Amino acid sequence: MAKYIFVTGGVVSGLGKGITAASLGKLLRLRGYRVSVQKIDPYLNIDPGTMSPYEHGEVFVTDDGAETDLDIGHYERFLDINCSRKSGITTGQIYSKIFAKERRGDYLGHTVQIVPHVTNEIKNYMREIGEGQDIVIIEIGGTVGDIEQSVYIEAIRQFRRELGIGNSVAVHVTLIPYIASSGEIKTKPTQNSVKDLQQLGVFADVLVCRTTAGIELDQEHRDKIAMFCGLDNQEDVIHNRDCRTIYEVPLMFAKQKFDQIVLKKLNLKLNKCDLSEWQKIVDKLCDDHLPEVTVALVGKYVAVADAYISVTEALKHAGIVNNVRTKVKLVQAENLERDGAEPWLSDVQAILVPGGFGNRGVEGKIAAIKYARENNIPFLGICLGMQTAVIEFARNVCGLRDANSTEFVDKLKYPVIDIIEDQKDITTKGGTMRLGLYDCALKPNTLAAKLYGKSTIKERHRHRYEFNNQYRTQLEQAGMVFSGINPQANLVEIIELPSHPFFIACQCHPELLSRPNRPHPLFKGLIAAAVQK
């Protein structure tokens, strides 16, 4: 039976619970344990798939096609595991399951209630993810005290009791504010948050206290926090200071023996832990002497840092192997519609157009792609980035003047991007895209084949529209190479321009598979080309 670590947050949201959970998971993995992770979001949407990136940041897609919270991406990158739909649970999923059961008559004769029916369902999800694992980390979204979160705290209370002493640990992540005028840090909000949790029946075993950089949490503070919060001893107070990079957090935790403390509480062996590979990654990311390469990310949601988190992380990973530091210049696509591409892109060594939905900013992205193509600037297009690259090429090289995607214009003379026939009558929006892993066969002697170094690959997808095969011959004759094809449905997956030093775009989302220790070939190639430039 797996042992459980429950991670909750208090005082304010946005303290990095996800990074905390992922960093602890990393350390436990390095000690040889099989670790799985689950994030439970207390909102009523079935998944974040239909939410705007402004509300929710990036949507992370798993191999099995679940649209999940971006924290799942952190878990995959830190733990180097592939999560499944079991890792991303929402209140919406739990309730819809219960409603389906109720209609089927599964509860016949009984009143369906929050306790026990909802809490039982939550515990079922928690148990399920533990199958075949040594340790499960469960992160509860939101902040203790939220109405919608309380049912999860109750489920944790019940589940911990069932698991028995020594089989679970409750980690609570809080904020320690610094009052600049008096030069003091304040522990009271943490004490109050721990009490709120205790009132709901969950007693925190370890506190992870977030402060800004440069703040010290000395013995006196640790003693005080441990005493008022009912911790076994002051080592159970972990200081989570702002780091230079998120990848430094596991190292900071290891120094404070966070993993060892947790393992002891779970009565598990402290196997050896080798941090050297991870340390090298962090050293590279923080090495100010390495040359810098600037990549423009031309997108629509650039105002929200989290909207493209997997893309910006993948760019950083690719910097590590190329011995450079990648600087990402976030460029609002609409600015290019107003000012042209030159003022925004003349200072960058590479251009990336990421995925996206809807019309806004599309013409700006097309302008960025034209600029990359005409000025030999290394270019990577992802999903909508590939679709806009096709539109740009069709318009400006093949002379198909109003070429576009039917996502943006209904009646088109040249619908170079379109919905495939058997998708056309789908009217539901949630979960109906091409989602998850799909095969792709690579054409020999192409840039794609060279970068991947193999002939077949699998990549994750999240889109509704596809390249319209009616235009394949025409675009091919004009110099575009279709270097990746989905063999089952004959769909275009990767395009490239051999006349250009590095111009490649894919229908999939390669950023989702990049890891700090294993950068994705397309990103690695983009940065290598940028270095040459």
Considering only 465, 471, 482, 503, the residue that binds ligand GLN (CB under 6 A) is 465
Residue 365 contacts ligand GLN per CB under 6 A: no
Confirm or reject binding of residue 525 to ligand GLN (CB under 6 A). no
Strand partners, 495: 482, 505
Tell me the closest approach of the beta carbon of residue 388 to ligand GLN, in angstroms.
Answer: 9
Select the residue interacting with ligand GLN from 72, 341, 384, 527 (CB under 6 A). 384
Of 216-224, 276-284, 381-389, 468-476, which part binds ligand GLN (CB under 6 A)?
381-389
Cα 406 from Cα 423, distance rounded (Å): 13
Beta carbon of residue 357, minimum distance to ligand GLN (angstroms, whole number): 4
Question: Quick check: 383 binds ligand GLN (CB under 6 A)?
Answer: yes
Q: Which two tokens stand for residue 383?
A: 């999903």
Helices (H), 200-308: 219-229, 249-255, 258-265, 276-285
Q: Does 299 bind ligand GLN (CB under 6 A)?
A: no
Shortest Å distance, C-beta 433 to ligand GLN: 6
Start-end of H helices in 82-187:
91-104, 119-129, 150-163
Contact residue for ligand GLN among 141, 177, 356, 361 (CB under 6 A): 356
Q: Which residue among 243, 383, 440, 508 is the active-site one?
A: 383
Least distance to ligand GLN, CB of residue 510, Å: 12
Binding ligand GLN (rule: CB under 6 A), the pick from 235, 357, 406, 441 is 357
If you search the block for the tokens 């959970």, which residue do you land on? 21
Residue whose tokens read 């088109």:
412
Told to judge if 383 belongs to the known catalytic residues of this protein, a careful annotator would answer yes
Residue nearest to ligand GLN (CB): 355
Exposed e or buried b per residue across 117-155, where buried means at least 16 C-beta atoms within 10 angstroms of its C-beta: bbbebbbebbbebbeebbbbbbbbbbbbbeeebbbbbbb
Task: Choose the binding region for ligand GLN from 77-85, 194-202, 363-371, 462-470 (rule: CB under 6 A).
Answer: 462-470
Residue 97, token pair as written in the block: 């399951």
Establish how many alpha carbons lie within 13 A of residue 496's alpha carbon, considering only the half-sphere containing its beta carbon.
25
146 vs 15, 151, 234, CA distance in Å? 16, 10, 28
Query: According to the binding rule CB under 6 A, does residue 355 interact with ligand GLN?
Result: yes
Binders of ligand GLN among residues 421 to 460 (CB under 6 A) are none
Per CB under 6 A, does 462 bind ligand GLN? yes
User: What would the DSSP string read from start to end of 124-136?
Assistant: HHHHHHTTT-SEE
**Closest separation between CB of residue 509 and ligand GLN, Å?**
7
Q: How far is the CB of 407 from ligand GLN (least distance, A)?
A: 5
Residues 6+ apart with CB under 8 A from 171: 5, 6, 7, 8, 20, 24, 204, 205, 206, 207, 208, 262
Which residues are identified as catalytic? 383, 509, 511
Task: By CB under 6 A, name the binding residues for ligand GLN.
Answer: 355-357, 383-384, 387, 407, 462-465
